[in-house]
Amino acid sequence: EAGVVQSPRYKIIEKKQPVAFWCNPISGHNTLYWYRQNLGQGPELLIRYENEEAVDDSQLPKDRFSAERLKGVDSTLKIQPAELGDSAVYLCASSWQGAKAVEQYFGPGTRLTVT
Amino acid sequence: GENVEQHPSTLSVQEGDSAVIKCTYSDSASNYFPWYKQELGKRPQLIIDIRSNVGEKKDQRIAVTLNKTAKHFSLHITETQPEDSAVYFCAALSGGSYIPTFGRGTSLIVHP
């Protein structure tokens, strides 16, 4: 079974430039998460999708961040414009969400460096 | 909201020793506690989890214990090996939110 796929793996951009990250979850997983992980810290949730609906996005900085999950499968996270403080690893995870919390499977992440 | 504290931040042991990492949580509604292992530059991988209806769970050399009253849970690794070296994260989730709160991580170093 293929795992969560993310691209690109690495991205270096100048501040004020736009950037986009792509995630393909595990087949059949209805829930998709985007996390940001700063160096030396645990992942912090940005947004959670159930199918194509964003159900938890309170931690997403909506002035510059946007996300979509068209058709309830692949998802894209965008930052426009990027700031120096956005440098981090952006992790995508997926799970099959039923009646109780279940394990999430993480992708390899996209390491973003903003210069 | 939930707050998860994890200790220690760094743990150095000799190969063959045991390692224990401890986490506390604040939300009594949390009922699912996964542990992730993240090797340098790689994705977090689930290694073991426990639900609030059990007090202990084992899988070969790793075990997790949960004390609901005290709101703390611990990861135990026995007979550590150099390949156990990684950052370990605990997390807590409540069934209603599905949003995990992660600890800050413990960097485990196993010396050969």
- Which of A40, A45, A102 is closest, CB to CB, to B99? A45
Flag whether pLDDT at B53 surpasses 70.
yes
Q: pLDDT at position A98, please?
A: 66
| Residue A85 phi, psi (nearest 5) | -70, -5
Residues in chain B closer than 8 A to A105 (CB atoms): 46
Cβ of residue A96 closer than 8 Å to a chain B Cβ: no
Tokens of B89: 């994260």
Q: Give A34 or A72, the one with higher predicted confidence.
A: A34
Q: pLDDT at position B96, please?
A: 66
Flag whether pLDDT at B97 surpasses 80.
no
In B1-112, which ranges are E strands? Answer: 4-7, 10-14, 19-25, 30-38, 45-51, 56-59, 62-67, 72-77, 86-94, 101-102, 106-111
Residues in chain A closer than 8 A to B36 (CB atoms): 106
For residue A5, name the pLDDT band (cuts at 50, 70, 90). very high
B-facing residues of A in 23-82 (CB < 8 A) are 31, 40-45, 48, 56
A–B: how many Cβ contacts below 8 A? 55
